[in-house]
Every structure is written in C-alpha cells, then in structure tokens.
Amino acid sequence: MDVKRILYVDDDEAMLRIVAATLPRLSGVEVVTATSGAHGLALLGQQRFDLVLLDYELPDFDGADLCAEVRMRIGASTPVVFLSGHEDGPERRAAMEAGASVFLRKPCPPAAIAAGIAPLLRERALDPVQP
C-alpha cells in the first residue's frame, strides 16, 4: 500500500504536534509539518505531497494568498484543505475561491480531520493524471 504524504502548515506548534502524531494512526498517512507559509512553499518545491493542510492565519501569509500560491506551484489535482479557527464567513469564501477543496473549523479533533481528508485521498489515488 502506498503511504499518502500530507504537508501541514500551521504556526500553532501544539496543533502541529497533535495532528502529526495522531493523523498517521487514524489514516495511515505521513505528515510533514511547516510552521510558516514560506517553509511550506519550500517543502512543496522539494517533495511531493498527496494533500496540503493549511491554517488560514499564518504570520507570513494570508490563507487565501497561500492557497493561490500553492495552486500555482502544484496545480489543481492535489487537494488543499484548510484547518482554521475562522468562522464560516469571508475567510472561508476567500479560501474556496483560491482553490481550497475543504474548509474545516478549529478546534477539530484528529478523527474529524481524518474523516474530512479520506475522500480526497481516495479520489487522488484514483486520478490517473496525478503528478
């Protein structure tokens, strides 16, 4: 079985640790973490990921701007999921317009994150033109 790789970008180190420790057990994925948008973009240039998980509010990037940059670099076939403390309002709309696949609201237990990303990873596995 091919292990799916997720890039998780969040400046909240506690969330990074929780998700990186729990999501692999729940979903059989590998999680690579970054604490800033710039670090996440650098990792995207060095490695291949099956899904990108983003916080909306980072010290160096607005979530929608980061999502648009991710889309420019990796295209539309890789799912981008937001995990954010923002209510379903302008931030959610901006994220979806920038190319997000799903917008999950923090606090979000790892089991709910796993449930939210599972269909996206299945679709990606079935996509014959994925990079």
State the virtual CA torsion across 119, 102, 65, 44 in degrees, nearest 10: -20
Domain 4-125 falls under CATH 3.40.1010.20 = no
Would the pTM count as exceeding 0.85?
Answer: yes
Q: Is the pLDDT of residue 127 over 60?
A: no
Chain segment 33-73, per-residue pLDDT in tens: 999 999 999 999 999 999 999 999 999 998 899 999 999 99
Nearest partner of 9 among 83, 109, 113, 105, judged by Cα: 83
Pick from 35, 37, 95, 96: which is nearest to 61 by CA?
37
Residue 91: pLDDT over 90 = no
Parse the chain into domains and list their residue ranges.
4-125
Q: What is the spatial distance between Cα 98 and Cα 8, in angstroms, rounded to a whole number?
A: 18
- The DSSP letter of residue 4 is E
Length of the chain: 131
